[in-house]
């Protein structure tokens, strides 16, 4: 078999054995100020969360953060590269009480415009290391939006059994949060 065929076969085989299993999906219907996933099974290698979200208050774009296992202590670190309109920048923070993971839209953005994101929680059940999170998110505010690539660390070695999305306002109805388990 030609070398490219061996490589393609190896890549395809690995992609097919690593699958995404739907764990839970939450669609907002009561304008909550947070969304929580709890009772997360400890049987996967990683978790992935995909969201489609919008705030009900008068902002164009807004941040979205998570807290793991209800931990509101100063135990989060984050680094991000973000782009707003034509400006790119970086930021980082330590000793945070929640982990900023990206952006979403608010009520002054185009009607029906939602922020979107994919967030990976790596080795979430491993109790021998701190939990690492990576996110790719974006939001459009009437043609001027934000995109974000961020990483974060929860400075705790406990297994992740729950996490909560926090926005400092309320979500509109029909925001969708879908949690997947990734088999290793």
CATH number at residue 72: 2.60.120
DSSP class of 15: H
Domain count, the chain: 1
pLDDT at position 15: 47
In tens, the pLDDT along 79-132 reads 999 887 778 999 999 999 999 998 899 888 888 889 999 999 999 999 999 999
- Whether residue 16 is contained in a domain is answered as no
DSSP class of 2: -
- Whether residue 147 is contained in a domain is answered as yes
Distance CA 135, CA 118 (A): 6
Q: Is the pLDDT of residue 17 over 60?
A: no
User: Quick one: pLDDT band at residue 11, thresholds 50, 70, 90?
Assistant: very low
Q: Among 117, 80, 98, which residue's Cα sits nearest to residue 164?
A: 98
Tokens of 105: 């839209």
Distance CA 69, CA 116 (A): 23
pLDDT at position 19: 86
**Which residues, in sequence order, are CB contacts of 112 under 8 Å at separation 6+?**
none
- Whether residue 113 is contained in a domain is answered as yes
Q: Is the pLDDT of residue 143 over 80?
A: no
Least confident of 2-11, 66-75, 89-98: 2-11
Range of the domain at 40: 21-182
CB 117 within 8 A of CB 137: yes
pTM over 0.85: yes
């Amino acid at each position: 078999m030609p070398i490219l065929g061996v490589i393609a076969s190896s890549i395809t085989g690995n992609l097919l054995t690593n699958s995404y299993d739907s764990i839970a999906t939450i669609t907002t219907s009561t304008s909550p100020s947070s969304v929580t996933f709890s009772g997360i099974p400890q049987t996967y290698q990683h978790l992935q969360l995909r969201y489609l979200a919008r705030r009900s208050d008068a902002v164009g774009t807004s941040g979205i953060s998570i807290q793991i296992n209800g931990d509101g202590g100063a135990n989060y670190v984050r680094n991000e590269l973000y782009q707003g309109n034509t400006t790119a920048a970086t930021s980082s923070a330590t000793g945070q009480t929640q982990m900023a993971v990206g952006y979403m839209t608010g009520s002054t953005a185009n009607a029906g415009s939602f922020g979107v994101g994919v967030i990976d929680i790596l080795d979430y059940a491993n109790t021998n290391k701190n939990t690492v999170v990576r996110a790719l998110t974006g939001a459009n505010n009437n043609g001027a939006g934000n995109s974000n690539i961020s990483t974060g660390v929860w400075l705790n070695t406990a297994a992740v059994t729950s996490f909560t999305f926090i926005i400092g306002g309320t979500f509109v109805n029909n925001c969708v949060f879908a949690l997947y388990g990734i088999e290793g």
